[in-house]
Amino acid sequence: MADTVFVLNGPNLNLLGLREPEIYGSDTLDDIAGRLEDQGRELGLQIDMRQSNHEGHLIDWLHEANALPAKAVILNSGAFTHTSIALYDAIKAIKVPVIEVHLSNPHTRESFRHKSFVGMAAKGTVAGFGALSYTLALDAAAKL
Ligand code: DQA
């Protein structure tokens, strides 16, 4: 299944569209998933989009992506980005490339968002473009 891209979303991203729209925009996660599926069809890639509020689920899904193997993982780990050594270790432990994604640009926000454990292990990062960050990340995944 080398043509599958996992798109993993962490805590509070199920509330996209309702949650601080001035920061995160008005698109829901389903809106983003629909667009990625259209884009995936054009690129010949299958999209497996998931969301969980639980850190361990994200880690299990990274392992699953590696076992398949998936072509790439696009990961918006929400606030776990800034706290999770376990996510850092999981990304380091697998061979599948992980692209870190954020809707907002954490570097222009509170200082506690300036550190990214995920970014320290990821292949690359796309941040600050709203829902377009996911589109740009999928284009990058297709070219890996
Ligand atoms: C986010 C940025 C994080 O700092 C925040 O905790 C989120 C969303 C983003 O997509 O901009 O939950 O990952």
Structure tokens that stand for 95 in this block: 């061979």
Per-residue pLDDT band at 73 (split at 50, 70, 90): very high
Active site residue 102: yes
pLDDT at 64 over 90: yes
Continuous segment of H or E residues that includes residue 66: helix 55-67
Structural domain containing residue 118: 4-143
Active site residue 82: no
CATH code where residue 73 lies: 3.40.50.9100
Q: What is the average per-residue pLDDT within 58-72? A: 98
Q: What is the average per-residue pLDDT within 106-134? A: 98
**What is the per-residue pLDDT across 85-96, written as a single tens digit (0 to 9) for each?**
999 999 999 999
pLDDT at 74: 99
* 3 state SS of 5: strand
Q: What is the average per-residue pLDDT within 70-80? A: 98
CA 77 to ligand 1 centroid distance, Å: 7
**What is the per-residue pLDDT across 97-111, written as a single tens digit (0 to 9) for each?**
999 999 999 999 999
Longest dimension (CA), the chain: 39
Q: How many domains would you assign to the chain?
A: 1
Report how far Cα 141 is from the mean position of its chain's Cα atoms: 11
Q: What is the average per-residue pLDDT within 38-66? A: 98
Q: What is the average per-residue pLDDT within 17-42? A: 96
pLDDT at 30 over 60: yes
Per-residue pLDDT band at 1 (split at 50, 70, 90): very low
Ligand 1 binding pocket (C-beta < 6 A) is 12, 76, 78-79, 81, 102-104, 106, 113
CA 105 to ligand 1 centroid distance, Å: 8
CA 19 to ligand 1 centroid distance, Å: 11
Instruction: Report which protein residue has its CA nearest ligand 1's atom 8.
Output: 78
Above pLDDT 70, what percent of the chain?
99
Averaged confidence pLDDT in the chain: 97
Whose structure tokens read 């995920």? 118
